[in-house]
Structure 1
Amino acid sequence: MPPARSRARGPSAAGAGAAGLRHIVELTGRESEGITLVKPEGDGWVVGVEVVEDRRIPSSGDVLALYQTELDADGELRSYRRLRRYRRGSGDQGESGS
């Protein structure tokens, strides 16, 4: 088992999630649907954020996207990327690597 990491400084999981969401909203200019993942990694955090990329009527046709951010120990953005795009009504196809 790896040694426990000290998180004496930097954000909590909730703070990291909020920071990741804020970064994605600022970078993409899109409306957030919510946070899908917050996990510690190395000396920072990985945060998944779902956003609406294209609104449709009915809303089941909305195009959503899943973004992943990597934050440093202080909650500052290291990197981000879009993992996938999908229609709201298409359902979850499962996650890889879980």
Structure 2
Amino acid sequence: MAEKSAASTESESSGTPPTKKTGAKRAPAKKNTRSGASARAPRAEPARKITGAKVAEQAVRQLGELTSKEIEGVTALQRTEDGWQVELEVLELRRIPSTTDVLGTYQVGLDASGELQEYRRLGRYVRGQAEDGA
């Protein structure tokens, strides 16, 4: 074994392992199927319209997470120019008997995709208290 290849002699003197040449070829680059067109990123799908039920569900979840209060229900839902406006009944203070619980009415503003943008409490009342409706 007196003869060594030039590659192995070179690698021994440089301290790097010899490289093995393989017959593997690189895969050819994919050609664009459109003639003359350059590669483009895929188009973003248009935003889907969110339903009122989904908006109400998101309003309940987001306000509940933010305030750590129990949401009793949705009392109003309205689409606006910028998104949605939802009114929610929130349990503010639990009492015994439950007819004396204190509830709050909250107005929640959501953007067109259903993300909470703002909220405020409109008022408080006792659960068993009759409301004067117009």
The TM-score by the shorter chain falls in which range? 0.7 to 0.9
Segments of structure 1 that go 5 or more residues without pairing to the other structure are 1-7
Q: Deviations over 1:16-36 (max 9, x none)?
A: 111111111111111111111
Q: Over the residues paired in the alignment, what is the CA RMSD in angstroms?
A: 1.4
Aligned to 2:36: none
Q: Does structure 1 residue 58 correspond to structure 2 residue 97?
A: yes
Kept in 2, the 8 Å contact 1:24–1:49? The answer is no
Q: How many residues align?
A: 88
The equivalent residue for 1:92 is 131
RCO comparison, higher one (Cα < 8 Å, 6+): 1
User: In structure 2, what is the equivalent of residue 5 of structure 1?
Assistant: none
- Structure 2: runs of 5+ lacking an equivalent: 1-46
Q: Which has the higher strand share?
A: 1
Partner of 1:45: 84
- Radius of gyration: which is bigger? 2
TM (norm. structure 2) is 0.62
Post-superposition shift, 1:70? 0.5
Identity across the alignment (%): 49
1:64: how far off? 0.2
* SS of equivalent residue, structure 1 residue 94: coil
TM-score calculated relative to the size of structure 1:
0.83
Counterpart residue type for residue 32 of structure 1: I
